[in-house]
A and B are shown apart, each in its own frame.
Chain A
Amino acid sequence: MTPDGAPPAPHAVEAAGLSKRYGAANALAGVDIAVPRGAAFGLIGVNGAGKTTFIKSMLGIVRPTDGTIRVLGGLPTDRRIRARIGYLPERLALPPTWRADEFLASIARLKGVRDRGEAARHLARVGLAGERARIGAYSKGMKQRLGLAAALLGSPELLVLDEPTDGIDPLGRVEVRRILAEERARGATIFLNSHLLSETVRICDRIGILSGGRLVREGTVDALCGSSDRHRVRFAPGADPARLEAAGFSRTEAPDTWRCAARDPAQLGERLDAARASGAWLVELSPDLRDLEDVLAEAVGRAA
């Protein structure tokens, strides 16, 4: 149930024909999207695709020119709705003379968070517990962590994160992914915008591709990047290429790695049996997923 006692809307974010024009330029040109509650949704696209404008529309920071957008069942201009959202902006400007606990205390006051210990808990989660330096002395990664802690305040139902791992070192990214996984387990919906496509794939189970202000592709990671009838197979070195090709395998750019198309598990089993019969030893079998970069390039190319 929502804080108002109403049943929760099935979608955390719903946009229909959402458009935003800045003068003659169309930042968004009729975006239709529905992000289910509890999902981890990644919005990707090239620079200028409209990702940040869409996120700002979700938060009422930008007012749409046309179309509608509903977040958690309500309008983003409703502050009761915004009270249920945590947001990490792309270019986060923090007061340089404050300390982390002072900043979080301020955000907690403005969010109406009454639990005084919550800020300290989130500081510990993002690895900034006991940090007494002023924010002006922080690295970019530390500022991002602090911004994430601010977004987590109040246990929001929707976390909107614009480039959350930007500037964070690889181990820190693992920590961020762990935190986001915990938030999902709590029931929060995650809406992520990142240029780091590998991060997006690791965090999100659904992905939307924006191009020219339109949502050109949307679906699960498997649906976008994978294929139900294509597999990647790696054999131990020494397999006979001619016999593998005869068994229905095709070469890939990686050594000892082959691609195999099979309409069902039975056909896949038959081909693997044929390979083994030729003396090839199976080492690895996985779905043949394309890189998200390739999917993005293809989607943007088609849209153009």
Chain B
Amino acid sequence: MRAVAHVAFDLLLEARSRRWFLALGGAITLILGVIALFLRLDVVDGTLAATRLFGADLGGSAEPVAAALRPLFSASAWIVFYGGIAFGIVACSDFGPRLLGPGRIELLLSLPLRRAELLVGTWLGVLCIALLGTAFGAGGLTLILGWKTGVWSPGPLAAGALACVSFGVIYAAMLAATLWSRSAALSAGVGFALLFAGVVAGHRDDALAVFQPGVGREVFRYATLLLPRVSAVCRDAMAIAASDAFDPLGLLARVGAMAAFAGAALALAAWRFEGKDF
């Protein structure tokens, strides 16, 4: 376990010195700074009286602040969820190929590490990067909105956590793909393909209702059965962020299924890694 932690820690150190992640940190800070400095929310007796961005009135009728902020929290959750996953796919797609690069993998495999530890450490390191980025962005947003409105909702943080879970599943598949072909483009392609498939799988029940009974319907039913329901988890994240009603057991089942998918992808990757010569 210590070796896994060391590999993950090294990956964090490497990410710290990369332009991608410096840009991510800068971009999140900039957005939070703009929101903190130029979004003005006038709250009078628990009612949102006015909303101004860069001094311009954004309109809207006076309503209780908790209700008025729901669309904002919901939209924030959507952006954090899909934006975070898409950024993560692009920015982290070359960690696997770099790890397996000639001259580096030989050195790592000569060290007293198990191959599975190297693999899980890399996955865990990427997950930590995602968690840190999300905690910074979503945490900052929570603090700013709480400070401006007096409504302290952990919704954006919860949405960010669910985004990290979804990204972790997708990255496990990306890492597994890298062990068949050491290509950042392929890794990113697998990530986006799984994201798209996960969005479709999240709307599986709605889509099944549209299909005519027959082979196509059954193929779709079974093809989407094992896929992570990414869009369904995003809907849960938006509901949590906006303090709307959601099905906790359903979310738990979806997250559990995602964890199983990630575990299966990592097991497949470990099997491939163990049998591969470098």
Interface residues of A (CB under 8 A from B): 56, 59-63, 79-80, 82-83, 85, 87, 89-95, 97-98, 102, 106-107, 109-112, 147, 150, 160
Contact = CB atoms under 8 A, between A and B. Distances in A.
B103 A106 contact: no
Contact of B110 (A87, A90, A109): A87
A62 B7 contact: no
B177 to A, nearest CB: 21
Contacts of A93: 101-104, 107
* Residue from B6, B109, B112 with most neighbouring chain A CB atoms (10 Å): B112
15 contacts: A56-B277, A61-B278, A62-B278, A63-B275, A82-B110, A82-B112, A83-B111, A87-B107, A89-B110, A95-B17, A97-B14, A97-B17, A110-B6, A110-B108, A110-B111
B148 interface: no
A110 B107 CA distance: 11
Given A89-B110, A110-B108, 10 more contacts: A79-B114, A82-B112, A87-B110, A93-B101, A93-B103, A106-B6, A106-B10, A110-B10, A111-B112, A150-B107
A89 B92 CA distance: 26
Contacts of A61: 105-106, 109-110, 277-278
Contacts of A62: 277-278
A110 B112 contact: yes
A56 B104 CA distance: 13
B107 A92 contact: yes
B37 interface: no
Interface centre among B9, B17, B105, B110 (most CB of A within 10 A): B110
Contact of B107 (A79, A80, A89, A112): A89
B53 interface: no
A150 B103 CA distance: 13
B14 A95 contact: yes
B109 A109 contact: no
A80 B112 contact: yes
A56 B14 contact: no
Which of B3, B103, B106: most chain A Cβ within 10 A? B106
B113 interface: yes
Contacts of B114: 79
Nearest to A78: B112
A62 B105 CA distance: 12
B29 to A, nearest CB: 21
* Chain B CB within 10 A, most for which of A63, A85, A110, A111: A110
Given A79-B114, A80-B112, A56 B106 contact: yes
Nearest to B108: A110
A60 B106 CA distance: 10
Nearest to A20: B277
Nearest to A110: B111
B110 A98 contact: no
